[in-house]
Amino acid sequence: MSSGRSQIWRRRTGTTFWVRAGLILFLIVFVWVQISFVDFGSSGSSYPEFNDSQAAILSMVPVVLHKFLAAKPRNGTVNGLNGSYSNLPYYKASFNITDIKRNIAQYNLQQTVYNEDLFGPLQNDSVVVVIQIHDRITYLRHLIVSLAQARDISQALLVFSHDYYDEEINSLVQSVDFCKVIQIFYPFSIQTHPNEFPGEDPGDCPRDIKKDKALEVKCNNALYPDLYGHYREAKFTQTKHHWWWKVNRVFNQLEVTRNHSGLVLFLEEDHYVAEDFIYILRLMDKTCKESCTHCNILSLGTYLKTYNYYGDAKKVELTPWISSKHNMGMAFNRTTWNEIVKCSSYFCKYDDYNWDWSLQHVSQNCLKQKLFAMVARGPRVFHIGECGVHHKKDNCGSTAVISKVQQVLKSAKRHLFPDYLILNYATILKKSKLRKGNGGWGDHRDHKLCMGMTIA
Ligand SMILES: *[C@@H]1O[C@H](CO)[C@@H](O)[C@H](O)[C@H]1NC(C)=O
Ligand SMILES: *[C@@H]1O[C@H](CO)[C@@H](O)[C@H](O)[C@H]1NC(C)=O
Ligand SMILES: *[C@@H]1O[C@H](CO)[C@@H](O)[C@H](O)[C@H]1NC(C)=O
Ligand SMILES: *[C@@H]1O[C@H](CO)[C@@H](O)[C@H](O)[C@H]1NC(C)=O
Ligand SMILES: *[C@@H]1O[C@H](CO)[C@@H](O)[C@H](O)[C@H]1NC(C)=O
Ligand SMILES: *[C@@H]1O[C@H](CO)[C@@H](O)[C@H](O)[C@H]1NC(C)=O
Ligand SMILES: *[C@@H]1O[C@H](CO)[C@@H](O)[C@H](O)[C@H]1NC(C)=O
């Protein structure tokens, strides 16, 4: 999607001269970057300029933040770091499900906000950052290190939303000392429902059984295969349920956030933020109010593999929100949420197990004003997870991407914190034909569980 109509927005009044000079500078830098571009996100070790040894990664992290990378001592090395960084106590985590359920209920009831005494109550112009977490603690450590280095993080509230209970993750989260923190726990996880819905009930139909056969053997969900004829797979449903639950929880239920009128940013455990992400978010928000009143969602990340970070550091694109492109580092406020939540049945009953495709379905088929995004061309949120929650690859332990992101941000450092943003309207390509969902969400029990999360 190339940029068509273009508009310049300046924070302070400036002259056309500076605008022109700026544009010329962009061109020069653009060309230079083309020559010495940074390749990002492709296969690991073929780029010798990236030293991805643990020592190199650590050398890029301020010493005071090494504690967040410190694994607790276990047999051998954990997360590639040796004993010298392992000075925290070791908790033997052997909870049974009863314990876990009790602890989760307690956390969700108490709603303890850590560090509120140090950083004061949440202001309505503070940024709330909601982080969806499963179990990939190594990535989470690096996300926390990146958050710790962000300007104005001390005014933010981090909401860690867990669907996997683990004491090592808990103590990591509770060790965050640079801003307010609250933990919430998705209460319908597979971990706490291993042999019953929403986990896998032994009476459920196998994924590939034919419907007539399913009806014959009378398995639980025989009537509800997805639009491709497959039956539910519990592990693929959890992320969408968790996503919907946490957004409802934050906007409508949590005491600390349920009256918050400002921005809420959504991250995942394998994201990594630039140090100006809050600054940019505020600048984008302000720019929207002045120059793009139909913008109702912000996006801090894109999935480009190679990009001209330098020229793009202050560019934003105005575009209809597209799930596959703009689902990373998304932010919106209660106004947008109130519209989305009115369309909960479109989200919860759409036969697609992806939350972002479901949100796109909501946008296209239900919202009065479709989701329209302001997207940072120079990403402020990066994806460092080589391996998804379900898609394990050979190199899952690899930290090559972390190293690359560190290098990219280091070389982009002086381009961060731009004074103003340059707006580009994306050329709207021919309307892509409406897609069928990806399936995996045909089971009426999932629809019902999801809908139930909205009733506060
Ligand atoms: C990687 O960086 C570490 C620490 O900075 C250094 O000791 C090591 O020699 C470097 N390795 C390569 C291959 O450059
Ligand atoms: C490794 O763990 C096992 C079981 O927890 C324990 O018996 C063993 O002593 C440990 N080994 C070392 C070197 O700590
Ligand atoms: C960790 O310890 C092992 C042997 O105990 C050593 O070979 C390795 O280099 C150490 N790694 C780091 C990052 O210090
Ligand atoms: C779970 O463990 C606790 C002790 O931590 C014990 O009291 C309880 O009976 C256990 N419950 C089950 C179902 O095993
Ligand atoms: C935030 O709160 C202040 C006073 O507490 C108020 O003046 C301001 O209008 C509020 N802003 C929003 C966006 O609600
Ligand atoms: C939120 O607003 C409700 C009423 O609108 C009020 O009763 C409640 O005290 C407020 N909560 C906080 C934390 O401000
Ligand atoms: C929330 O976002 C909408 C755009 O979606 C904007 O018009 C409104 O001013 C924002 N509200 C606050 C309190 O910032």
Task: Sketch the domain layout of the chain as residue ranges.
Answer: 2-39, 54-452
Mutate to test the pocket of ligand 4, among 91, 99, 101, 102 (most ligand atoms within 8 A of CB): 99
Q: Give the C-alpha separation, 423 to 5, whole Å.
A: 9
Q: Give the C-alpha separation, 165 to 98, whole Å.
A: 12
The closest ligand to the CA of 284 turns out to be 7
Instruction: Look at 66-75, 209-218, 225-234, 348-357 and tell me which has the smallest mean pLDDT.
Output: 66-75
pLDDT in tens, 11-21: 233 344 455 55
Give the pLDDT band (50/70/90) at residue 72. low
Say yes or no to pLDDT of 62 above 90.
yes
Average the pLDDT over 211-217 and give the result: 96
Ligand 6 atom with minimal separation from the 256 CA: 13
Say yes or no to pLDDT of 93 above 50.
no
Give the pLDDT band (50/70/90) at residue 70. confident
pLDDT in tens, 329-374: 999 999 999 999 999 999 999 999 999 999 999 999 999 999 999 9
* SS3 category, 112: coil
Q: How many CB atoms lie within 10 A of CB 107?
A: 18
Say yes or no to pLDDT of 288 above 70.
yes
Average the pLDDT over 406-425 and give the result: 92
Instruction: Look at 78-82, 83-87, 405-409 and tell me which has the smallest mean pLDDT.
Output: 83-87
Beta strands in 118-259 (DSSP E): 128-133, 157-162, 180-185
Q: What is the DSSP letter of 88?
A: S
Give the pLDDT band (50/70/90) at residue 419. very high
Ligand 1 atom with minimal separation from the 48 CA: 13
The closest ligand to the CA of 50 turns out to be 1
What average pLDDT does the chain have? 83
Those residues whose C-beta lies under 8 Å from the C-beta of residue 250, and which sit 6 or more positions away, are 128, 130, 159, 184, 257, 258, 264
- In 207-351, which residue ranges form alpha helices assigned H by DSSP? 211-217, 234-248, 277-291, 309-312, 323-326, 334-342, 344-348
For tokens 């400002």, the residue is 262
Q: What is the pLDDT of residue 338?
A: 97
Average the pLDDT over 312-328 and give the result: 92
Q: What is the pLDDT of residue 311?
A: 73
Share of the chain above pLDDT 70, in %: 77
Ligand 7: residues whose CB is within 6 Å? 261, 289, 296, 333, 335-336
Average the pLDDT over 174-194 and give the result: 96
Please give the CATH topology (third level) of the domain spanning 54-452: Spore Coat Polysaccharide Biosynthesis Protein SpsA; Chain A (3.90.550)
Instruction: Look at 184-188, 393-397, 429-433, 449-453 and tell me which has the smallest mean pLDDT.
Output: 393-397
94 lines ligand 4 (CB under 6 A): no
Average the pLDDT over 82-108 and give the result: 66
Give the pLDDT band (50/70/90) at residue 224. very high
Q: Give the C-alpha separation, 319 to 375, whole Å.
A: 8
Tell me the two tokens of residue 59: 């050398």
Say yes or no to pLDDT of 120 above 90.
yes
Give the pLDDT band (50/70/90) at residue 308. low
Q: What is the pLDDT of residue 363?
A: 96
Q: What is the pLDDT of residue 36?
A: 37
Q: How many CB atoms lie within 10 A of CB 324?
A: 10
Average the pLDDT over 103-109 and give the result: 95
Ligand 3 atom with minimal separation from the 81 CA: 13
Say yes or no to pLDDT of 78 above 50.
no
Q: What is the pLDDT of residue 302?
A: 77
Q: What is the pLDDT of residue 404?
A: 87
Q: What is the pLDDT of residue 47?
A: 39
Give the pLDDT band (50/70/90) at residue 25. low
Q: 306-307 and 422-426 as β-strands: parallel, antiparallel, unpaired?
A: unpaired
Torsion, CA 143, CA 147, CA 149, CA 153, rounded to 10 = 180
Give the pLDDT band (50/70/90) at residue 306. low
Tell me the two tokens of residue 409: 């941000």
Give the pLDDT band (50/70/90) at residue 222. very high
Q: Give the C-alpha separation, 383 to 314, whole Å.
A: 20
Mutate to test the pocket of ligand 1, among 46, 47, 53 (most ligand atoms within 8 A of CB): 53
The closest ligand to the CA of 69 turns out to be 3
Average the pLDDT over 144-165 and give the result: 97
For tokens 């402020």, the residue is 380
Ligand 3 atom with minimal separation from the 54 CA: 13
Q: How far is the CA of 54 from the centre of ligand 1 (A)?
A: 9
Q: What is the pLDDT of residue 82?
A: 37
pLDDT in tens, 243-270: 999 999 999 999 999 999 999 999 999 9
